[in-house]
């Protein structure tokens, strides 16, 4: 419907008494009465304001608890049914408030996982160095409230952009190891499961020869912030050794319009936006993250905590 261009004939309103007859003059130049246009603009403005308020105050703080099963080849007995939780893209003090991150940690603790994996972007680039340093330190302190026996992180593009050491040092000081082109063996008795952490692929060049053990003799789960990096992973000689890959980065699109999809997607996050994807024997899972960037809005794309249970393929 187009407003301001429909012609209206002369209109007459008649009450029950002739003396109360009222004549309305036609709108000049055949245009609709101005109050119709104003009412439309006012209604549209209020709707837009309401949508922005919902996206900022309600939808941005909605948390979805996703449960997935990862089938792993030759999974050792000690790791059958092993439960991990993945969170990602915290962006503390970009737009993520401390209380909201603490709420996330509380929900993770309630799940009682054995390991928590944080797949990058602890902070947001932009702002003063002092603000970023404070955000990194506070993020590390809040993550130290995690009750899981073990936790690990990797770097995201924002972490590298603000200075990787500025993020790594407070995390490791609060007992959150950061895997940067390195790996770590989870041990349960004599059984092993390898966690491999790739460096950020947006700003730096990950070295999978360093990230993936050459002779693992046990399953390998790769943590890589940018999901589209998988297109490089599948071409690497050590791809046959990788059983699963966990990523974040995209925020799931953050703002997803019905019938349209995500409005904006980042580099290296345009093809595998959210959820699970299969690459031969390896499954990729893309977590929608906790925080936001660009604008403090989420719409049709809630923040996510992913509970992962390992099963033998």
Q: Which domain holds residue 120?
A: 64-312
Total domains in the fold of the chain: 1
- Distance in angstroms (rounded) separating the CA atoms of residues 223 and 115: 13
Quick: pLDDT tens for 224-233.
999 999 999 9
Residue 107 lies in a domain: yes
**pLDDT for res 48:** 42
C-beta of residue 84 within 8 angstroms of C-beta of residue 308: yes
Give the pTM. Answer: 0.84
C-beta of residue 191 within 8 angstroms of C-beta of residue 79: yes
Extract the tokens encoding 226: 């940018």
Residue 119 sits at φ, ψ, to 5 deg, of -95, 50
Quick: pLDDT tens for 169-220.
999 999 999 999 999 999 999 999 999 999 999 999 999 999 999 999 999 9
Residue 14 lies in a domain: no
- Distance in angstroms (rounded) separating the CA atoms of residues 66 and 132: 30
- Distance in angstroms (rounded) separating the CA atoms of residues 137 and 288: 23
Residue 307 lies in a domain: yes
Residue 103: partners with Cβ closer than 8 Å, 6 or more residues away: 63
Residue 306 lies in a domain: yes
Kindly tell me if the per-residue pLDDT of 255 is higher than 90: yes
**pLDDT for res 57:** 60
Kindly tell me if the per-residue pLDDT of 36 is higher than 90: no
- Distance in angstroms (rounded) separating the CA atoms of residues 139 and 173: 12
- Distance in angstroms (rounded) separating the CA atoms of residues 284 and 154: 16
- Distance in angstroms (rounded) separating the CA atoms of residues 222 and 226: 12
Residue 57 lies in a domain: no
**pLDDT for res 183:** 98
DSSP annotation string for the chain: --TT------EEE--SSGGG-EEEPPPGGGPPPHHHHHHHHHHHHHHHHHHHHIIIIIGGG-EEEEEEEEEETT--GGGTT-EEEEE----BTTTB-HHHHHHHHHHHHHH--SEEEE-S--B-S-S-HHHHHHHHHHHHHHHTT--SSEEEE---HHHHHH-HHHHHHHHHHTT--B-SSEEEEEEETTEEEEEEEPPPTTTS---HHHHS-SS-SS-EEEE-S-GGGHHHHTTSTTGGG--EEEE-SSGGGSBEETTTEES---TT-SS--SEEEEETTEEEEE---S---SSS--BS--EEEEEEEEEE-
**pLDDT for res 58:** 78
Residue 78: other Cβ atoms inside 10 A: 15
Residue 33 lies in a domain: no
Q: What is the mean pLDDT of residues 126-131?
A: 93
C-beta of residue 79 within 8 angstroms of C-beta of residue 281: no
Q: What is the mean pLDDT of residues 11-23?
A: 39
Extract the tokens encoding 52: 């922005």
- Distance in angstroms (rounded) separating the CA atoms of residues 90 and 292: 8
Sign of the dihedral defined by the CA atoms of residues 130, 121, 88, 97, in that order: positive
- Average pLDDT of the chain to the nearest whole number: 87
Q: Can you give the CATH number for the domain in which 197 is found?
A: 3.60.21.10
Extract the tokens encoding 303: 């923040």
Kindly tell me if the per-residue pLDDT of 32 is higher than 70: no
């Amino acid at each position: 419907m187009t407003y301001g261009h429909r012609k209206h004939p002369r209109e007459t309103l008649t009450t029950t008494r002739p003396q109360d007859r009222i004549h309305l003059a036609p709108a000049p130049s055949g245009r609709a009465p101005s109050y119709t246009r104003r009412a439309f603009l006012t209604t549209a403005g209020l709707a837009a304001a309401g949508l922005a308020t919902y996206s900022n105050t309600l939808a941005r703080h909605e948390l979805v608890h996703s449960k997935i099963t990862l089938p792993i080849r030759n999974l050792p007995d000690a790791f059958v049914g092993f439960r991990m939780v993945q969170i990602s893209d915290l962006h503390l003090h970009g737009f993520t408030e401390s209380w909201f991150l603490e709420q996330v940690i509380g929900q993770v603790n309630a799940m009682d996982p054995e390991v928590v994996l944080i797949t990058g972007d602890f902070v947001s680039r932009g702002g003063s160095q002092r603000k970023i340093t404070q955000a990194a330190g506070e993020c590390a302190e809040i993550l130290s409230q995690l009750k899981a026996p073990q936790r690990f992180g990797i770097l995201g593009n924002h972490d590298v952009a603000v200075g990787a050491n500025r993020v790594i040092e407070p995390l490791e000081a609060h007992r959150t190891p950061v895997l940067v082109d390195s790996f770590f063996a989870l041990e349960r008795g004599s059984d092993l499961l390898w966690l491999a952490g790739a460096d950020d692929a947006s700003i730096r060049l990950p070295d999978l020869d360093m990230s993936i053990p050459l002779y693992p003799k046990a399953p390998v789960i790769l943590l890589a912030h940018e999901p589209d990096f998988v297109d490089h992973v599948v071409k690497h000689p050590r791809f046959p050794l990788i059983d699963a890959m966990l990523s974040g980065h995209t925020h799931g699109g953050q703002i997803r319009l019905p019938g349209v999809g995500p409005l904006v997607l980042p580099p290296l996050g345009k093809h595998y936006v959210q959820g699970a994807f299969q690459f031969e024997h390896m499954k990729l899972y893309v977590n929608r993250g906790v925080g936001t960037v660009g604008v403090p809005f989420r719409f049709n794309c809630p923040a996510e905590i992913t509970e992962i249970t390992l099963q033998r393929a």
